[in-house]
């Protein structure tokens, strides 16, 4: 599900079991990331699937990338793998106004 920045961040802050997933490349992550996010690069193809399948499917995932396109794709893949709660950040980190590390 696509969420606005406000709803995405508020949802994450309210959910103690939530995980922020950054699906950008390592180079992109090096230029700044949302605090406490984990990085699994969607461009790794099957490697992305293998890494995602090791995650807890019962948790809620707040997913982002640079603009929102790759993270939407990641949410779709995760849903196909049995994840029920995935939320895509509309506009990605390019439009992010929250904390960055």
Please state, in angstroms and rounded to a whole number, the distance separating the CA atoms of residues 29 and 85.
23
Catalytic residue among 20, 34, 52, 65: 65
Residue 72: both structure tokens together: 């939407």
Rg of the chain taking only CA atoms, in angstroms: 12
The reply to whether 75 belongs to the active site is no
- Contact between 1 and 88 (Cβ < 8 Å): yes
For residue 12, what are the contacts with CB-CB under 8 A and spacing of at least 6?
18, 20, 62
| Active-site annotation, residues | 65
């Amino acid at each position: 599900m696509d969420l606005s920045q406000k709803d995405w961040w508020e949802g994450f802050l309210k959910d103690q079991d939530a995980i922020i997933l950054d699906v950008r490349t390592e180079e992109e992550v090096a230029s700044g990331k949302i605090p406490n996010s984990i990085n699994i690069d969607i461009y790794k193809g099957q490697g992305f699937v293998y890494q995602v399948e090791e995650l807890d499917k019962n948790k809620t995932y707040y997913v982002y990338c640079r603009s929102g396109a790759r993270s939407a794709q990641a949410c779709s893949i995760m849903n196909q793998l049995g994840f029920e709660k995935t939320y895509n950040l509309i506009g990605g980190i390019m439009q992010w106004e929250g904390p960055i590390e």
